[in-house]
Amino acid sequence: MEIKGQLAIVTGAGRGIGEAVGKRLAAMGATVLLAARDLTQLQRVQHEIQAAGGSAEAAQLDLQDEQSIANLAAAIENRHGRCDILVNNAAVGSSGKPLFEMSPAEWDQLMATNLRGPYLMIRALAPMMIAAKSGHIVNISSLAGHNPLPNGAAYSASKWGLNGLSYSVAEELRPHGIRVSVIAPGSVNTRFEGRGDRKDPNKKIQPDDVAHVVAMLVTQAPQSFVSEVLLRPTQKP
């Protein structure tokens, strides 16, 4: 399955996993719409993709703002009339504190980005996929969505929730020829885990490792799809 000429939307595309995914899909021939809050970072990634001969656009997006997502979807429909690939990657990390010390405002912000954001993106963009009777949605989850995470209960809950959302919406969209997959990586070598992270960065999963899995998922043969990939480092960092 080729993706040349397809439109791919990647959230959290200004750095880390999102940047790696955007560059990989662009190298495979897709036009990539890079979405995040930091327009400066997005434009850097966009220029690097273009310098390598790829096609990319940058769109400032606030996942916590329903209207921002609606505006993006309208712009995509008006400019491209299609949405072939959606990678819901943007997320905020663990607070590093016990749940009973976490404020409701912190809880709401985390859930708004990690769980409500993907819901709003799917709600806004799935209709274009349904009209085309094809498409692939990839949600970037975490092994924390399968395992306990002390001092990260809210983050873990958001990823458990994202997994449940993904499995269920996959059943809703299968009749329309749309495939929904989840990638659940372990520790990834990004700035995501914060300053207190003492794990060996060379032993961690690299952003390109996640991008490789995204590339595999969106080029599957049409008669099947991989529901979930658990991605672990070869050596524990």
Question: Annotated catalytic residue: which of 61, 89, 92, 155?
Answer: 155
The closest of 159, 157, 208, 209 to 182, measured between CA atoms, is: 159
155 included as an active-site residue = yes
Q: What is the C-alpha separation between 170 and 200, in angstroms, rounded?
A: 35
Cβ-proximal residues to 65 (8 Å cutoff; 6+ apart), any chain: none
Question: What separation in angstroms does the CA of 190 have from each of 85, 177, 201?
Answer: 23, 34, 8
Helical residues (DSSP H) of the chain, grouped into ranges: 16-27, 39-51, 66-79, 104-111, 117-132, 153-173, 207-217
Catalytically active residues are 155
